[in-house]
Structure 1
Amino acid sequence: MRWITHPGWPGNLLAAVAGALTTLALAPFNIWPLAVVSLALFYVGLRHLSPRQALLRGWCYGFGTFAAGTSWIYVSIHTYGGASALLAGLLMLGFIAGVALFFALPAWLWARLLRRNEAPLADTLGFAALWAGQEAFRGWFLTGFPWLYMGYSQLDGPLAGLAPLGGLWLVSFSLALSAAALCNLPRLRSHRRSLTAAALLLLAPWLAAQLLQGRAWTQPAGKPLTVAALQGNIAQSLKWDPAQIDAQLELYRDLTLRARRTDLVIWPETAVPVLLDNARGYLSRLGDFASNRQSALITGVPIRQEVDNQRRYFNGITVTGVGEGTYLKQKLVPFGEYVPLQELLRGLIAFFDLPMSDFARGPADQPLLQAKGYQIAPFICYEVVYPEFAAGMAARSDLLLTISNDTWFGTSIGPLQHLQMAQMRALEAGRWMIRATNSGVTALIDPQGRITERLPSFEVGVMYGEVVPMAGLTPYLHWRSWPLIGLCAVIFGWALWHRRKAGQQLPAATAVQ
Structure 2
Amino acid sequence: MNKIKAPVRWLLAGLSGALLVLSFPPFALWPLAWVALCPLLLAALDCPNAKSAANLGGVTGLVFYGTSLNWMVKIFGPAAAAFWCIFALWIALHAALLWKIWNSKRTGVNTALKSFLFVAAAGVLWAGIEYFRCEVWWLECAWLAMGYSQTPALPILQTASLVGIYGLSALIISANAALCLLIKERRAVPALLLVLLLSILGLWGRHRTGTLPIEQIRKLSVALVQDESFNLESLAKFSLRPEAKNADLLIWPEYSFTVQPDQEDKYLALLSKSLKGSRAVKMIGAGVFPEDEKSKTRMRDYAWFISPEGKTLGFYDKLHPIPYVEKRFRSSNKNLIANHSPAYVATPAGNLGPQICYDLDFENGSRKMAEQGAQILVSNSLDPAVWGKWQHLQHSAMSPARAVESGLWLVRAASSGSSQIIDPLGKIRAALPPEGSGLLTGTAYLTAPGTFYSRYGWLFARLCLLAAMAAVLIYWRPFRK
Counterpart of 1:372? 348
Alignment of 1:110-509 (within 5 A): 110-113=98-101, 115=103, 118=111, 119-139=114-134, 140-157=136-153, 159-186=156-183, 195-196=188-189, 198-213=191-206, 215=208, 220-234=215-229, 248-260=231-243, 261-275=246-260, 277-278=262-263, 280-287=265-272, 293-303=278-288, 311-322=297-308, 324-341=313-330, 358-396=334-372, 397-407=374-384, 409-483=386-460, 485-486=462-463
Structure 1: which amino acid aligns with 2:37? L
Report the alpha carbon displacement of residue 321 of structure 1 after superposing the two structures with TM.
Answer: 1.5
Separation in 1, partners of 2:256, 2:468 = 48
Contact 1:155 1:424 (C-alpha < 8 Å) held by counterparts: yes
Structure 2: which amino acid aligns with 1:97? C
Structure 1: which amino acid aligns with 2:24? L
Count of aligned residue pairs for this structure pair: 458
Report the alpha carbon displacement of residue 495 of structure 1 after superposing the two structures with TM.
Answer: 13
Question: CA 1:205–1:492 in 2, change beyond 3 Å: closer, same or farther?
Answer: farther
Report the alpha carbon displacement of residue 385 of structure 1 after superposing the two structures with TM.
Answer: 0.8
Contact 1:429 1:474 (C-alpha < 8 Å) held by counterparts: yes
Separation in 1, partners of 2:470, 2:480 = 21
Which secondary structure does the structure 2 equivalent of 1:53 belong to? helix
Question: CA 1:267–1:321 in 2, change beyond 3 Å: closer, same or farther?
Answer: same
Question: CA 1:394–1:415 in 2, change beyond 3 Å: closer, same or farther?
Answer: farther
Structure 1: which amino acid aligns with 2:55? L
Structure 2: which amino acid aligns with 1:467? A
Structure 2 residue 78 is the aligned partner of structure 1 residue 102 = no
Separation in 2, partners of 1:302, 1:38 = 41
Report the alpha carbon displacement of residue 114 of structure 1 after superposing the two structures with TM.
Answer: 5.7
Separation in 2, partners of 1:67, 1:219 = 39
Report the alpha carbon displacement of residue 9 of structure 1 after superposing the two structures with TM.
Answer: 5.1
Structure 1: which amino acid aligns with 2:241? R
Report the alpha carbon displacement of residue 60 of structure 1 after superposing the two structures with TM.
Answer: 1.5
The range that moved more, 124-133 or 320-329, is 320-329
Q: Which runs of 5+ in 2 are unaligned?
A: none
Separation in 2, partners of 1:268, 1:494 = 43
Question: CA 1:339–1:493 in 2, change beyond 3 Å: closer, same or farther?
Answer: closer
Contact 2:125 2:467 (C-alpha < 8 Å) held by counterparts: no
The range that moved more, 437-446 or 219-228, is 219-228
Report the alpha carbon displacement of residue 219 of structure 1 after superposing the two structures with TM.
Answer: 5.1
Report the alpha carbon displacement of residue 42 of structure 1 after superposing the two structures with TM.
Answer: 2.2
Question: CA 1:218–1:400 in 2, change beyond 3 Å: closer, same or farther?
Answer: farther
The range that moved more, 311-320 or 488-497, is 488-497
Q: Which runs of 5+ in 1 are unaligned?
A: 78-87, 240-247, 344-356, 500-505
Question: CA 1:25–1:333 in 2, change beyond 3 Å: closer, same or farther?
Answer: same
The range that moved more, 403-412 or 377-386, is 403-412
Q: Deviations over 1:390-411 (max 9, x none)?
A: 3223333111112111115533
Give % identity: 26
Which secondary structure does the structure 2 equivalent of 1:270 belong to? coil
Separation in 1, partners of 2:171, 2:450 = 22
Per the normalisation by structure 2, the TM-score is 0.85
Structure 1: which amino acid aligns with 2:317? L
Question: CA 1:388–1:321 in 2, change beyond 3 Å: closer, same or farther?
Answer: closer
Separation in 1, partners of 2:90, 2:386 = 23
Question: CA 1:492–1:282 in 2, change beyond 3 Å: closer, same or farther?
Answer: closer
Question: CA 1:70–1:2 in 2, change beyond 3 Å: closer, same or farther?
Answer: farther
Question: CA 1:458–1:445 in 2, change beyond 3 Å: closer, same or farther?
Answer: same
Question: CA 1:33–1:373 in 2, change beyond 3 Å: closer, same or farther?
Answer: closer
Structure 1: which amino acid aligns with 2:65? F
Question: CA 1:159–1:258 in 2, change beyond 3 Å: closer, same or farther?
Answer: closer
